[in-house]
Amino acid sequence: MKRRTWILSALGATGALVVGWGVMPARSRIGSGALMLPSQGEVALNGWIKIGADGGVGLAMPRSEMGQGVHTALAMLAADELDLPMARVRLEQAGSDAIYGNVAMFVGSLPFHPLDSEGPSKTNGVRVGQWMVSKIARELGINATGGSSTMADLWDPLRMAAATARSSLLGAAAARWNVPVADLRVLDGVVQHGSGKKAHYGELAKDAAASTPAGVTAKSAKDWKLIGKATARNDIATKTDGTAVFGIDVRLPDMLFASVRHCPMLGGTVQTLDAKTALTLPGVRKLVPLDSLGGSTAGFAIVAKTTWHARRALDAVQVQWKPRAGGALDSQQIESALLAKLQSEKGYAFYSKGDADKAEADASRKLEATYKAPYLAHATMEPMNCTAQVKDGRVEVWVGTQVPQMAAAIAAKTASVSKDNVTVHVTLLGGGFGRRLDVDFVAQAVRVAMECEGTPVQLSWSREEDTTHDFYRPMHVAQLRAAFDAQGQVSSLRIKSAGDAITPRWMERGLPALAGPFDMPDKTTAEGLFDLPYGFANQHMAHVASTMGVPVGFWRSVGHSHNAFFSEGFIDELAAEVKQDPLAFRLSLLKEAPRYAAVLQMAADKFGWSKPLAPGHSRGIALHESFGAIVAEAVEVSLAEGQPRVHRVVCAIDCGIVVNPATVAQQMESAVIFALTAALYGKIDIKDSTVQQTNFTSYQMVDLAQSPVVETFIVPSTRPPAGVGEPGVPPLAPAVAGAMFALSGKRQRALPLVA
């Protein structure tokens, strides 16, 4: 606790230095209408809502849509508060003001145990830490789509902004007709009075903008008309007919196209280069050298009339590469080094309860296991790309990004202009999963555009470049040890993990002004290990941080993605050791965590845990909390020709208030397929600093024929919304591993799973 207090003190000191949080008042997140740019006939009522002449609503959209459904969910919040049909809500990209910054994502990065962080059990230290980081995050206003945080972050601010606008509109109608506000009602965006008087929002907007509503409250649950109802997504039509614009779809007049080639060796550079032949090929315009920008490996780009011309010219360039200065990277050697660290270093203790040392000393026996997880690539369906134009001292960028402000900052730095002279247009993202929290490809596009004399240029990566030059999910290993008392019951659980920390490396690349002179303990390294809900009397959870040289980044569900495999896999081992059913053993440890027990029980009941399965089939189950949501998954598995086949997955989730249950089901299905791919096939091997996997032929994905039936069940809740996009990933691998053990008797302690 002393070290955790030190962390919070350091955060507070940093915040004081950066924004003077101790003397500044709390920043309202509703904002003024001046933050929105009204078009002809529009009137802005606050920083989120403007009203069109036709009575429709323009909604500022600060979060990126990458398939997770936030554009629909946020539009539902506004439409519900304004009593307006969803079709009347138009989305427009939000500006860069601090009101649009993501507060919840930064608060969620604090290393607090969830059972100490909510309800009556919340400690003063937790309250102070959350308040402190929340205040800093509000002032910094960093707009990011990540950490499954959108609904948690905007649930209150956006509803209040819409409720404030509604109050102003009703107040304007009441003043115009000289009637009490209480006598008015709204139907589909039309304010009506019993006398027959009515006006749509567009007719009241100017008067509403001049009013100052007071005592505004958002609707209570009994008055919701959209929230909680399955609603069709508002992006399906354009994605179906092909008119949706992803980054790679951007087309501008006279646009050129560029393709990039990096040094095959991570961290390497160009030694010699001969482009004479390449530059004589049809359609080719020029070659642009690329240094290491935004953390990328150095290389070069070819600019041409089309992407095909550019890629053809890349192959004609004669180049010799120079390896990284720090020596060759090798994933096998890195694994050995991490395992050695487990033995030689104590690590940072994220959580301690009771006295694990004494419990181990008094133990009748112990059980120990070592678990391993490899590097993984993001493999988004849309490879990295960005369109940029540098002209007349200004930079304009069109890109699918999870961090538009960081994209603007690196564009400004690359082109040596003020950030005020940079405009970023955020397109739809063809997959993010954390990869588009980095902006290296934005810097490359701007660098190339600087050489194109004002002509816009679209830079794109091939699938091979995307796979071999990712910011990978880091390799991690863990040593788990349990002690048993004289009665044969588990008396302590000790977990020590080792692997690279993501957050410090990401901040160095994208937020260098906030990166510290030394690495602080990073929650992502130990999440899913230190924050278990199980009631072991004695616990000690530590992590040994490393910097192995491989570029690492956030990957869907981050540390939970592998740590849940470690912890839940070992829980299965403990259940077998005490000769209990995996479900019953977990429930026996959740007496002080009823929310977790309810989710686990729902998954088991809906699966039919006690019912017999077909011959050759078995079951597995796992429970995990991440990003504020609790998910349990029960799976049915068989082995065919030595390979696991997952037939059915039943998901139960408690994610607080559900805005759109259809999206929850879609995200659970997406997470299961994503996690199953990683569990069965996911692995990045590095030899001589070169990634061995290059495309989907060597970095395999689960296909349609291998996809299981996925059933989703939602635990009703009155808590504020929590994450949905990522929490379905962590439980899948350990659940499948448990089922495989039941079939083969072989423990699965390494990913990917091997029968």
Query: Per the structure block, which two tokens stand in for 179?
Result: 């009637």
8 A C-beta contact, residue 8 and residue 128: yes
Strand, coil or helix: 718: coil
pLDDT at 265 over 60: yes
Query: What is the C-alpha end-to-end distance of the chain, expressed in Å?
Result: 42
pLDDT at 208 over 90: yes
Q: How many CB atoms lie within 10 A of CB 328?
A: 17
Question: CB-based contacts of 445: which residues, under 8 Å, 6+ apart?
Answer: 258, 385, 386, 387, 388, 397, 399, 457, 458, 459
Strand, coil or helix: 265: strand
Write out pLDDT tens, residues 398-407.
999 999 999 9
Write out pLDDT tens, residues 438-493.
999 999 999 999 999 999 999 999 999 999 999 999 999 999 999 999 999 999 99
In whole angstroms, give the CA distance from residue 644 to residue 737: 9
Residue 123 pLDDT: 75
* Nearest C-alpha neighbor of 465 from the set 556, 374, 385, 402: 385
Going from the C-alpha of 164 to that of each of 63, 98, 125, 212, 700, the distances in angstroms are: 21, 19, 33, 9, 50
In whole angstroms, give the CA distance from residue 522 to residue 517: 14
* Nearest C-alpha neighbor of 482 from the set 473, 472, 491, 471: 491
Q: What angle do CA 271, 275, 280 make, to 5 degrees?
A: 180
pLDDT at 15 over 60: no
What mean pLDDT value characterizes the chain?
A: 94
Residue 119 pLDDT: 65
Mean pLDDT along residues 302-322: 98
pLDDT band at 20 (very low <50, low <70, confident <90, very high): very low
8 A C-beta contact, residue 385 and residue 249: no
Going from the C-alpha of 626 to that of each of 439, 477, 563, 650, the distances in angstroms are: 26, 20, 11, 18
**Which helix (H) or strand (E) segment is 388 a member of?**
strand 385-391
Query: Per the structure block, which two tokens stand in for 239?
Result: 């994605």
Q: How many CB atoms lie within 10 A of CB 305?
A: 14
pLDDT at 25 over 50: no
**Domain 247-325+384-460 coded CATH 3.40.50.720:** no
**Which of left, alpha, beta for 688 (phi over 0: left; psi -120 to 50: alpha)?**
left
CA dihedral 598, 599, 602, 604 (to 10 degrees): -110
8 A C-beta contact, residue 583 and residue 621: yes
Write out pLDDT tens, residues 591-636.
999 999 999 999 999 999 999 999 999 999 999 999 999 999 999 9
| Single-letter amino acid, residue 730 | P
Asked whether the domain spanning 331-376+472-744 has the same topology as the one spanning 25-102+141-241, the reply is: yes
Write out pLDDT tens, residues 139-192.
999 999 999 999 999 999 999 999 999 999 999 999 999 999 999 999 999 999
The domain at 25-102+141-241 falls in which architecture? 2-Layer Sandwich (3.30)
**Which helix (H) or strand (E) segment is 358 a member of?**
helix 356-361
Identify each DSSP E strand in 557-688 by its residue range.
617-626, 629-640, 643-654, 686-687
8 A C-beta contact, residue 673 and residue 702: yes
* CATH number for domain 331-376+472-744, candidates 1.20.140.150, 3.30.365.10, 3.40.50.1000, 3.40.50.150: 3.30.365.10
In whole angstroms, give the CA distance from residue 625 to residue 436: 24
Helices (H) and strands (E) in the chain, counts: 21, 27
50-73 core/surface letters (b: 16 or more CB in 10 A; e: else): bbbeebbbbbbbbbbbbbbbbbbb
Strand, coil or helix: 127: helix
8 A C-beta contact, residue 644 and residue 680: yes
Write out pLDDT tens, residues 27-81.
589 999 999 988 889 999 999 999 999 999 999 999 999 999 999 999 999 999 9
Residue 280 pLDDT: 98
Going from the C-alpha of 444 to that of each of 289, 297, 438, 441, 464, the distances in angstroms are: 10, 11, 12, 5, 17
Mean pLDDT along residues 251-277: 98
Write out pLDDT tens, residues 419-447.
999 999 999 999 999 999 999 999 999 99
pLDDT at 262 over 50: yes
8 A C-beta contact, residue 198 and residue 192: yes
Write out pLDDT tens, residues 523-534.
999 999 999 999
Q: Are strands 476-484 and 457-460 parallel, antiparallel or unpaired?
A: unpaired
Mean pLDDT along residues 690-701: 98
Q: Where are the domains of the chain?
A: 25-102+141-241, 247-325+384-460, 331-376+472-744
Residue 38 pLDDT: 83
Write out pLDDT tens, residues 619-678.
999 999 999 999 999 999 999 887 899 999 999 999 999 999 999 999 999 999 999 999
**Which helix (H) or strand (E) segment is 441 a member of?**
helix 440-449
Q: How many CB atoms lie within 10 A of CB 189?
A: 21
pLDDT band at 13 (very low <50, low <70, confident <90, very high): very low
Mean pLDDT along residues 281-294: 97
Query: Per the structure block, which two tokens stand in for 333?
Result: 């050697």
